[in-house]
């Protein structure tokens, strides 16, 4: 059974485009703070075994942070140019094929560089600082990824450094 070169080239082009498209997915975000907030073990060792406080949510602030982008390395442009050249080579004959290949290389390089720049660009993150005024008059702050259903004025319970709505 003879497999045509055109079929192999088209299949390779489709696989290459699918691989390049997979690079568009955003990077996962890893943050250490979670709701409900759990105090580090060092902070708990100085408290009683079951220390419970009550209070109400005094304030919820949005904390914004941004990571710097790493820019482009040129790898995306090279990969895009190679893939674009392979795809462009599938069209036309003679000088038309050469022109389509050149156009594919340039277009693929631009697209690959753009995708790499988006992937390596700066990212902005939001976390929340929940301030609680305790019944004893003190204030405690908890940095959480999401305040969940907490609202200003809600009654809360703080049990061993963990905040929960009552």
Which tens digit of pLDDT belongs to each residue from 62-78?
A: 998 888 878 788 888 89
Strands 155-159 and 52-67: antiparallel
Say how far apart CA 40 and CA 137 lie, in whole Å.
23
- Residue predicted with more confidence, 45 or 11: 11
Say how far apart CA 137 and CA 112 lie, in whole Å.
58
Say whether both 8 and 44 belong to one domain: no
Q: What is the pLDDT of residue 47?
A: 46
Does residue 166 have a pLDDT over 90? no
Q: What is the mean pLDDT of residues 86-108?
A: 88
Give 5-36 pLDDT, tens digit per residue.
Answer: 677 677 777 767 666 665 555 555 544 445 55
pTM of the model: 0.45
What domain range is 148 assigned to?
A: 33-68+123-166
Say whether both 81 and 115 belong to one domain: yes
Does residue 60 have a pLDDT over 90? yes
Say how far apart CA 40 and CA 26 lie, in whole Å.
30
Q: What is the pLDDT of residue 50?
A: 61
Say how far apart CA 136 and CA 150 lie, in whole Å.
21
Say how far apart CA 81 and CA 112 lie, in whole Å.
7
Q: Which DSSP letter does residue 122 get?
A: -
C-alpha closest to that of 163 among 138, 134, 142, 148? 142
- Residue predicted with more confidence, 36 or 136: 136
Say whether both 100 and 164 belong to one domain: no
Looking at the 3D structure of the chain, how many domains does it have? Answer: 2
Place of tokens 């005094």: 58
Does residue 48 have a pLDDT over 70? no
């Amino acid at each position: 059974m003879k497999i045509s070169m055109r079929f192999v080239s088209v299949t390779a082009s489709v696989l290459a485009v699918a691989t390049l498209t997979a690079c568009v997915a955003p990077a996962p975000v890893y943050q250490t703070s979670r709701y409900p907030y759990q105090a580090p073990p060092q902070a708990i060792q100085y408290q009683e075994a079951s220390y419970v406080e009550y209070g109400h949510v005094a304030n919820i602030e949005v904390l914004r942070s941004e990571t710097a982008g790493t820019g482009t390395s040129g790898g995306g442009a090279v990969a895009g140019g190679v893939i674009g050249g392979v795809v462009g080579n599938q069209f036309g004959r003679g000088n038309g094929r050469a022109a389509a290949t050149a156009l594919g290389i340039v277009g693929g390089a631009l697209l690959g560089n753009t995708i790499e720049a988006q992937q390596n660009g700066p990212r902005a993150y939001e976390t929340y600082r929940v301030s609680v005024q305790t019944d004893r008059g003190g204030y405690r702050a908890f940095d959480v990824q999401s305040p969940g259903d907490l609202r200003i004025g809600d009654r809360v319970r703080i049990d061993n450094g963990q905040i929960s709505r009552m």
